[in-house]
Amino acid sequence: MKVVILNNAAEVAQYGATLFSKQINRKPNSVLGLATGSTPVAMYKQLIDFYKHNQVSFRNIKSFNLDEYLGVSGDHQQSYRHFMNEQLFNHVDINKANTFVPVGDAKNPIEACEVYEQNIKSSGGIDVQLLGIGRNGHIGFNEPSSSLGSRTRVKTLTQETIDDNARFFSADEFQPHLSITMGIGTILEAKQVVLLATGENKAQAIVDTVQGPITAQCPASALQLHPDAVIIIDEAAASLLENQEFFRHIERENQKLEQSLGL
């Protein structure tokens, strides 16, 4: 697990966007796994900026989002499909037909989950999967107690997650309690996994992810098993970690190595 500790949220966004644009420039037809939530928004803004300055093109990109609310159609203001259109897809040259988000209003959600899995597979698998993290260590909508081998399926949200996400809904608005999410097994199959976290309220989840036992009680701890997982965090999210100076030292060494190799 590579842990990159940066000074603030702006640097996290910049680092994440640089990593994704390098991936796209190396492989213009990359398959990206994308995420919603407030954390990736600044990274998407930075990617849009790179696109506008001709530093990256999404023309041949395919993307799969982690999750969607169940019972919500893609044109609903609160859907993650709408979020992705607004925060990224509408502002870059991606072909929307190549962007996939689980179908929240599918007639048969169980079948839709299987189709989603098959679709990822027939696209050659995800090259790099972006993740945020919930305060309880959830990734996608894989709440604590999710099977570490789980596949795309319908999941019930915890009250904590419902409360955390209530800020996006107005008081009288329907807030879904169910979702469709890629499973932890699905996420672990991505060739690289990149998790972004900022702010003090993520600090304990980051400790549990990086230092804790691998346990379904902290779904993100499963990333310890991934051969190429990158955890990009600001000082506040890193504040409870042991070995902070060691992680900073490793990153300085990695930067030197990458520069000498011209990467």
State the catalytic residues: 67, 136, 138, 143
Binding mask 9-48 for ligand GLP (x = CB under 6 A): --------------------------xxxxx---------
Look at residues 156, 164, 181, 148 and name the one whose alpha carbon lies nearest to residue 68: 181
Q: Are 128 and 192 contacting, i.e. CB atoms less than 8 angstroms apart?
A: yes
- CB of residue 214 vs ligand GLP: minimum separation in angstroms? 19
Look at residues 150, 157, 152, 56 and name the one whose alpha carbon lies nearest to residue 103: 152
For ligand GLP, the binding residue among 16, 137, 140, 176 (CB under 6 A) is 140
Choices 86-94, 104-112, 128-136, 234-242; region in contact with ligand GLP by CB under 6 A: 128-136
- CB of residue 25 vs ligand GLP: minimum separation in angstroms? 26
For ligand GLP, the binding residue among 4, 17, 63, 67 (CB under 6 A) is 67
Cβ-proximal residues to 235 (8 Å cutoff; 6+ apart), any chain: 5, 6, 7, 8
Instruction: Find tokens 């996994």 and name the residue.
Output: 193
- CB of residue 106 vs ligand GLP: minimum separation in angstroms? 18
Residues in the interface with ligand GLP (CB under 6 A) total: 14
Q: How many residues does the chain have?
A: 263
DSSP letter for each residue of 69-110? ETT--TTSTTSHHHHHHHHTGGGS---GGGEE---TT-SSHH
Q: Are 139 and 184 contacting, i.e. CB atoms less than 8 angstroms apart?
A: yes
132 binds ligand GLP (CB under 6 A): yes
Binding mask 212-231 for ligand GLP (x = CB under 6 A): --------------------
Q: Is 222 in a helix, a strand, or coil?
A: helix
Structure tokens at 71: 């019972």
Binding mask 162-181 for ligand GLP (x = CB under 6 A): ---x----------------
For ligand GLP, the binding residue among 141, 182, 187, 189 (CB under 6 A) is 141
- Of 67 and 234, the one with the shorter C-beta distance to ligand GLP is 67
Structure tokens at 5: 């500790």
Instruction: Find tokens 């420039």 and name the residue.
Output: 25
Contact residues: ligand GLP, CB under 6 A: 35-39, 66-67, 132-134, 140-141, 161, 165
